[in-house]
Amino acid sequence: MANIASSAILAAAIALATVAAVAAPGHKPGESHRHDDETAYGKPGDPRKPARVVQITMREVDGKMLFQPSRVEVRRGEQIRFMLRNNGEIDHEIVLATLAENLAHAIEMAKNPDMEHDDPNAKRLKPKATGEIVWHFTKAGEFDFSCLIPGHREAGMFGTIVVK
């Protein structure tokens, strides 16, 4: 009886750990994250709650790659629904994070170019595809959004989110 109870507890703990690893942004499943998913740049939004729509387009122009717009201003506490569209000819992605995290992540991506993101703070889009990210900006500061496919950030594919 004691054994059954303790294996049930163990199974529940494993299930919780798996959920935390899947929901956490980034690529370090072993890393511990707080259960509310709060990050330095806010937390995943609640799609059932109101959000201001911000459209961001990805494209290539004259050898450059870019996001339009590349600067977004947000009020602290605001929830944003980023409506994303890839108007380019190749795959792009958007990863929302601190600048330091995205720069470190870019180095990881360069070593591991096939890495794909399926996190609440990131979206990868094929040409002409659309997608969205709902994010709740709970903290003031300047944050980064980048395409971390190798070479893309270097070609100009990054932007800044200013939360006031």
Contact set with Cu ion (CB under 5 A): 92, 147, 149, 152, 157
**Cβ-based nearer residue to Cu ion, 39 or 86:** 86
Sign of the C-alpha dihedral computed for residues 57, 72, 103 and 25 taken in this order: negative
* Encoded amino acid at 113, one letter: P
* Pairwise CA distance, residues 72 & 57, whole Å: 13
Closer residue to Cu ion, CB minimum distance, 43 or 153: 153
Phi, psi of 52, rounded to the nearest 5 degrees: -85, 135
**Minimum distance from CB of 126 to Cu ion (Å)?**
11
Strands of the sheet containing 64-68, edge to edge, are 43-44, 130-136, 79-86, 52-61, 64-68
CB contact at 8 A, 132 and 81: yes
- Write down the least CB distance from residue 35 to Cu ion, Å: 32
Minimum Å distance from CB 110 to Cu ion?
13
Q: Kindly tell me which of 85 and 152 has the beta carbon lying closer to Cu ion.
A: 152
Comparing CB distances to Cu ion, the nearer of 20 and 110 is: 110
Work out how close the CB of 157 gets to Cu ion at its nearest, in angstroms, rounded to a whole number: 5
**Residue of this chain nearest to Cu ion (CB atom):** 147
